[in-house]
């Protein structure tokens, strides 16, 4: 999934509380509010976010940078205000997939994006809107819905419970191209006119809008609620001989080369909702052939290649520097992280849990070309342990399946159906 975050507004209503920051960077629970939005998107399967900026754009760009966890972050800057519709259309022009999820940078609404995406794809409509039931619609107005479709908007002033626009949408890439003005309101000129059919996805998930001063104060006291929790599938991927050509103790950036199709396989898995994490033994550190910093540099290089070509990055790198016959004493041990032990995979699972991701071990994979890779997965409780391109005959005895390459594995439709 790709996402667009609308973060270009002036934040007039919140200026009395936060005057020196753009609204999405307002501090909540000791963190910029936008960090919660980015975490939410990442936990819900977004691999690339485009932040639409305007007011104080540099502060947002300098604070967030170009990566958040295993998610690429890009920017679409408004030189002059374009309205919500103009901003969305401009950002959609930077997207590479058939649709994007659009979210406001000052609202947290814990919608299950996997479920909403499914509804959007099945409906065939250009726009899907997330709607929230509230007890009193007097301040916000409410939506009229028939058979899951938006049929109208009722103005503010009515009382009682009703469905409101939650400010999260799935929008097809070219859905707004027909509008002939550069600046326009998505809400007034698209949604309220019903010029396009809109599917409604109802969710009773936690919702808060920090653009309202009293809600901003409430968000600070409820910061623990600003954490999405989802169960996710993962691929724990060996590096040398599986992802890249094994040159034996690889550490130089200039020596790195993807195995044919491996980078496309990673991108395919990421874009279809899998977390993809490298799990690799690096005994060259223990043997004093290279240092941890060299491994870190190489891994940043791998991400740069994936980002440049496919707009994805890996979700993490875990490496074991130990070896029982290490030259460097501090690395000489029989540890719990060196494969076939499960320590690195278990560590990754624990780290994901810290941000609200529960790894679905029944529907996750380890993929490698060695017996030890598969044993690490088995020892970590991963159900599917896939052997690729191996020259170890005994490894096939414990493999769930064998494929010639990572690309062959990722091409299988059954992988995505698990």
Q: Which of 317, 298, 274 is nearest to 409 (CA)?
A: 274
Mean pLDDT of 236-248: 97
Is the pLDDT at 418 greater than 90, yes or no? no
Whether pTM exceeds 0.75: yes
Q: Which of 106, 110, 209, 238 is catalytic?
A: 238
Query: What per-residue confidence (pLDDT) applies to 306?
Result: 98
Query: What per-residue confidence (pLDDT) applies to 391?
Result: 77
Query: What per-residue confidence (pLDDT) applies to 222?
Result: 94
Query: What per-residue confidence (pLDDT) applies to 21?
Result: 87
2-228 CATH choice from 3.40.50.720, 3.40.1390.20, 3.30.2320.20, 3.90.550.10 = 3.90.550.10
Query: What per-residue confidence (pLDDT) applies to 254?
Result: 97
| Whole-number average pLDDT of the chain | 93
Neighbours of 96 (CB within 10 A): 11
Share of the chain above pLDDT 90, in %: 83
What is the pLDDT confidence band of residue 201, given thresholds at 50, 70 and 90?
A: very high
| Active-site residue, 240 included | yes
Q: Which of 39, 106, 110, 240 is catalytic?
A: 240
What is the pLDDT confidence band of residue 390, given thresholds at 50, 70 and 90?
A: confident
Domain boundaries defined on the chain: 2-228, 231-417
Assign domain 231-417 to a CATH class.
Answer: alpha beta
Q: How many residues does the chain have?
A: 418
pLDDT (tens digit per residue) in 87-119 = 999 999 999 999 999 999 999 999 999 999 999
């Amino acid at each position: 999934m790709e996402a667009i975050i609308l973060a270009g507004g002036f934040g007039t209503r919140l200026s009395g509380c936060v005057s020196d920051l753009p609204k999405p960077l307002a501090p909540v629970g000791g963190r910029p509010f936008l960090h919660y939005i980015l975490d939410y998107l990442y936990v819900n399967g977004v691999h690339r976010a485009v932040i639409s900026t305007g007011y104080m754009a540099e502060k947002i760009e300098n604070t967030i940078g170009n990566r958040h966890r295993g998610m690429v972050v890009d920017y679409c800057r408004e030189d002059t205000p374009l309205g919500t519709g103009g901003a969305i259309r401009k950002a959609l022009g930077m997207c590479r997939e058939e649709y994007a999820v659009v979210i406001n940078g000052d609202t947290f609404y814990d919608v299950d994006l996997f479920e909403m995406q499914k509804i959007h794809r099945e409906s065939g409509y250009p726009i899907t809107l997330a709607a929230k039931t509230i007890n009193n619609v007097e301040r916000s107005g409410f939506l009229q819905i028939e058979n899951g479709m938006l049929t109208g908007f009722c103005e503010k002033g009515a009382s009682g419970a009703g469905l409101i626009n939650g400010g999260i949408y799935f929008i097809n890439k070219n859905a707004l191209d027909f509008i002939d003005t550069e600046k326009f309101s998505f809400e007034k000129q698209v949604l309220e006119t019903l010029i396009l059919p809109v599917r409604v996805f109802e969710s009773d998930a936690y919702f808060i809008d920090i653009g309202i001063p009293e809600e901003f104060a409430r968000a600070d006291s409820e910061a623990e609620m600003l954490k999405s929790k989802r169960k996710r599938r993962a691929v724990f991927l060996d590096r040398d001989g599986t992802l890249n050509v094994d040159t034996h103790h690889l550490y130089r950036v200039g020596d790195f080369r993807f195995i044919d199709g491996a980078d496309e396989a990673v991108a395919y898995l990421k874009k279809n909702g899998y977390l993809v994490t490298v799990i690799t033994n690096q005994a060259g550190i223990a043997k004093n052939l290279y240092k941890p910093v060299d491994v870190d540099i190489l891994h940043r290089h791998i991400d740069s290649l994936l980002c440049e070509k496919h707009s994805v990055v890996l979700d993490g790198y875990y490496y074991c520097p130990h070896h029982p016959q290490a030259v460097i004493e501090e690395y000489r041990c029989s540890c719990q992280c060196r494969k076939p032990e499960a320590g690195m995979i278990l560590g990754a699972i624990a780290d994901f849990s810290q941000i609200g991701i529960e790894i679905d071990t029944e529907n996750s994979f380890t993929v490698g070309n060695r017996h030890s890779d598969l044993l690490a997965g088995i020892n970590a409780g991963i159900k599917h342990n896939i052997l690729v391109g191996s020259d170890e005959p005994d490894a096939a005895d414990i493999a769930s399946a064998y494929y010639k390459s990572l690309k062959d594995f990722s091409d299988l439709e059954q992988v995505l159906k698990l």
